[in-house]
Amino acid sequence: MSDLFTQLKEKVTGKDLRIVFPEGLDERILTAASRLASEKILVPVVIGEKAAVESKAKELGVSLDGVEIYDANSYPEFDQLVASFVERRKGKATEEDARKILKDENYFGTMLVYTGKAHGLVSGAAHSTADTVRPALQIIKTKQGVKKTSGVFIMVRDDEKYVFADCAINIAPDSQDLAEIAIESANTADMFDIEPRVAMLSFSTKGSAVSPETEKVAEAVKLAKEMNPTLVLDGEFQFDAAFVPSVAKKKAPDSVIKGDANVFVFPSLEAGNIGYKIAQRLGNFEAVGPILQGLNQPVNDLSRGCNEEDVYKLALITAAQAL
């Protein structure tokens, strides 16, 4: 396991953090939950009918010592969750609606996080991104000053670590969105002991081309600097001007970014998605994520093609976000 995860493990162990796994009958989830509990890193809360979860664990030969099992159908404080959900949805759900909705494991799990019974949630092994993210947006909601959640990848190769954003959520972010993504990505970098140096990317460096696309990024730079004047951030940059010191010297000699950026904000989802996959496949970087940022409490989405190791690692990240 890379140093990144060794550090995260040390950071979260012994903090009595509880992470919810709504997909309690999934083999990958149960195996990872068992491992997290046996290593005493955190308290996994898996959701499912107790007898069914126990039977599945027995079939897999994994121990449930230290794992908590919650079932919406027999949860003693279900009525409180229903009342809390109705209040949170402000007239968009009746009590009758809430009783139905909270039988859905993602909604039930998200309410456990919202009401403080758990510190974060990891789902998506058997659900779509929308199924995982929708309850989070309706219940946990984005932090004050953040309009949209976004998804970052931590790109890791040996001792190199970079943050790529947004590679998962916002298809066509505007200047305000990009500025928020930059600020939140810098916060995520801090969490992984990366001192953020943020580059806002485009196909132009400092006005070398002018179009609505490049102006959108230039405006985002201005907004981000207003939002956090102390952050080391600049743009718009072509990738080489943000990353290669000799190119930076030629193309942006007066910038605070000297070809030493480590947080890269892409101008659109297609650019971000293509960019991280190129680094992953051609550059042999490990892509850790997507990590959702901008929410009041951490919720993270697995890929349906994930393995047990992915579940384990995303739980560590979610626990670190909860600190």
CATH code for position 316: 3.40.50.10950
Q: Is residue 291 part of a domain?
A: no
Residue 204 CB neighbours (<10 A): 21
118 and 230 part of one domain = no
Domain span including residue 207:
150-286
In this structure, the number of other CB atoms found within 10 A of the CB of residue 303 comes to: 13
Indicate whether 185 and 226 sit together in one domain. Answer: yes
Same-domain pairing of 84 and 132: yes
Instruction: Give domain status of residue 246, yes or no.
Output: yes
187, 122: one domain: no
Angle formed at CA 133 by CA 71 and CA 67, multiple of 5 degrees: 35
Neighbours of 195 (CB within 10 A): 10
d(CA 47, CA 67): 10
Instruction: Assess whether 26 and 106 both reside in one domain.
Output: yes
pLDDT for the residue numbered 1 = 53
**CATH number, residue 250:** 3.40.50.10750
In DSSP terms, 215 is beta-bridged to none
Domains of the chain: total: 2
Q: Based on the fold, state whether residues 166 and 134 are members of the same structural domain.
A: no
* Helix segments in 39-160, DSSP class H: 50-60, 78-88, 95-101, 105-114, 129-135
Identify whether residues 188 and 160 lie together within a single domain.
yes
Cβ atoms of 263 and 192 closer than 8 Å? no
Element (H, E) at 161: strand 160-165
Tokens of 147: 């309009």
Is the domain of 120 the same as that of 181? no
pLDDT of residue 303: 83
| Tokens describing residue 149 | 């959640």
At 184-211, the pLDDT tens digits run 999 999 988 899 999 999 999 999 999 9
Residue 158's Cβ-side half-sphere holds a number of Cα atoms within 13 Å equal to 1
Same domain, 273 and 308: no
pTM of the model: 0.88
**Are residues 191 and 305 both part of a single domain?**
no
With respect to residue 123, please indicate whether it lies within any of the assigned structural domains: yes
The tokens of 22 are what?
A: 């709504």
Rounded CA-CA distance 264/164 in Å is: 5
Which residue has tokens 């989405």? 301
**Considering Cα of 20, then 23, then 29, then 34, what sign does the dihedral take?**
positive
CB within 8 Å of 294: residues ≥ 6 apart? 142, 143, 146, 148, 149, 150, 180, 184
First to last CA, the chain: 22
- What is the average pLDDT value for the chain, to the nearest integer? 94
Is 136 found in the same domain as 24? yes
The stretches in the chain having pLDDT less than 70 are 1-2
Task: Note the pLDDT of residue 91.
Answer: 84
Shared domain for 244 and 166, answered yes or no, is yes
Token pair in block for residue 115 = 């009401």
Ramachandran region of residue 91, left (φ > 0), alpha (ψ -120 to 50) or beta?
A: left
Report how far Cα 270 is from the mean position of its chain's Cα atoms: 18
Helix (H) or strand (E) holding 174: none
Closest by Cα among 79, 18, 75 to 48: 75
